[in-house]
Amino acid sequence: MKNLFKYFICILFVSCSNNEGDYTDNPEHKASKSIITNETKSLYTSIKADYLKQADRPLSTAQRSALIHKLSDKYGLNTYPNTGTSLRISYEDITRQELQQLIENSDLSTAAKNSLSNFANTILMVQYQPDPELYDYLIQYQYNVLTDNQFNSYDIQVLNTTSDMAMLTTYGDDEEREDEDWDIAVGHIASWINSSLESNEEAALETLIQQLK
């Protein structure tokens, strides 16, 4: 788990598919690791770094939840002022149409809105495929975002923070999902996007806490 979270912090993802050797030897993949290392920082890198220091052994879902609650106190989440930018409804009730409205009403560029919409639709479909396919998709998505000159710095920040949260929520406990009955819902994706749009670590942390309850 410690090594897994190092990948999250650096965002140097290594494919866990059976074609791992071919993938990591790919020149584009090597270039993507360099770009991600040097040019990208997730909004909540400091939280993940703190998490890594304390999560030095495998944790159960309950233990992980307790740790994140502890970090929420440390980072002042409970006293963080309400900016009024969050969706103040239950994420479980969000429809695909409302998810699309969230994207359309954002300050992202048109290209980024299209990318984020496609990302959401793909995640909802790919989640039922074998784990390596979802994992590889998330890796490739981040590389594509970083190398697409249509995106500005804010676009990149939001798109890759959203995909970070997808990775962390899906693979946070282990390289394979522990609960095979757990599905990624439209509401989960909406919460990832909404937290990324808020552009603060507390929002990202709040999303992780809510999804671990």
pLDDT in tens, 82-139: 333 333 334 455 678 888 888 888 889 999 999 999 998 888 777 666 667 777 888 8
CA distances from 129 to 40, 124, 136 (A): 28, 10, 11
Q: CB under 8 Å to 3, separation ≥6 — which residues?
A: none
Which of 141, 138, 198, 195 lies closest to 166, judged by CA?
138
Q: CB under 8 Å to 184, separation ≥6 — which residues?
A: 123, 124, 127, 166, 169, 170
Phi and psi torsions of 11, nearest 5°: 55, 45
Which of 191, 210, 209 lies closest to 67, judged by CA?
209
Q: In the chain, how many domains are there?
A: 1
pLDDT at position 178 is 42
Phi and psi torsions of 187, nearest 5°: -65, -35
Cα–Cα dist 186/91, whole Å = 8
Containing structural domain, residue 34:
2-212
Q: H or E segment at 4?
A: helix 2-10
Cα–Cα dist 40/146, whole Å = 8
Listed as ranges, residues in the chain with pLDDT below 50 are 1-43, 77-91, 172-182, 200, 211-213
pLDDT at position 73 is 62
Average pLDDT, the chain: 62
